[in-house]
Structure 1
């Protein structure tokens, strides 16, 4: 098993706390990405959809995963189990410092997640406190904050998967 952290960053203009609409571990947020087979290296042609609130039985009948899929080239099974509770919103301070925020942790067996696609279902708040529903499917967002009398925006949106190490300390699990 290999753990992957999906992290992201963006340039935020007069916005902070960019995250999924129902919080950092939104059970209904759909993650779209391609998978790379760890056996043959084939990358799926279509994006895979993974949702925390959905699970399917494992092929061996022992437990469930959020994704069970066969590689189209070699036929080998791969699974992905999401590990909630490790996400964090992207604040303006993190954005300005170039620090990435974690979205989700994935426990992967047989697959490596690649090429995350941002979609609709995000929220952010302006520095004056106005909430915005954000669609990131176009890779950017722009609006105007009436209360703060200023433009707000999100540009230079970037996401990446990186291998993570699981650490247990004082009964708490973290991924670095």
Structure 2
């Protein structure tokens, strides 16, 4: 049982508190990333979608998980379980310091998550408090004008990493 902590970083211009639309533990937020089979090393050709709100029963034993996927090469099953409670918004201060903010923890068995893909469903607020919701980061950046603060707001240089956690 290996746990992977997804952490994100970005350059935030006049913005703070970047996080999924419903907060870091939003059950409807979809995480997209490629999976690498720990048995044979095969990397999934397409991104896999995992959501806290989607659960399936484990094939053996009791309990549920958020994803069961069979490796196309070695045909072994692997699971990914989303573990809420570890995520925090990316703040302006962390962005300026070029720090990564924890987003979500995944318990992976048989797979290793790699190559996180930013998509839609984000929210962020300007330094003046203007809220921007439904932000789509699939294009790699976001730019808007904050009428209240009378300045441009921007998200760019999106980055992510998966850290192994005990």
TM-score normalized by the length of structure 2 = 0.98
Secondary structure (helix, strand or coil) at the match of 2:153 reads strand
Report what 1:174 is aligned to.
Answer: none
CA distance in 1, matches of 2:85, 2:112: 21
Note the C-alpha offset of 1:61.
4.2
Structure 2: unaligned runs, 5 residues or longer = none
1:58 maps to which residue?
58
Look up the match of 1:142. 143
- Structure 1 residue ranges, 4+ long, deviating more than 6 angstroms after superposition: none
Partner residue of 2:81?
Answer: 81
CA distance in 2, matches of 1:24, 1:57: 24
Using the alignment, how far apart are the partners of 1:63 and 1:39 within structure 2?
23
> CA offset at residue 99 of structure 1?
1.1
Distance 1:103 1:152 in 2: 22
In structure 2, the partner of 1:21 is 21
Matched residue pairs, number? Answer: 165
Pairing 1:157–2:162 present: no
Residues in 1 aligned to 2:19 and 2:27: alpha-carbon distance in whole angstroms: 13
SS of alignment partner, residue 95 of structure 1:
helix
Q: Give the drift of 1:53.
A: 0.7
Which residue matches 1:131? 131
- Aligned-partner SS, 1:120: coil
Name the residue aligned to 1:114.
114
- 1:5-57 C-alpha deviation (Å, 9 max, x unpaired): 00000000000000000101111100011100000000000111101011111
Deviation at 1:59, TM superposition (A): 1.6
For 1:30 and 1:69, locate their aligned partners in 2 and report how far apart those are by CA, in whole Å: 16
- Report the more deviating stretch, 59-68 or 101-110: 59-68
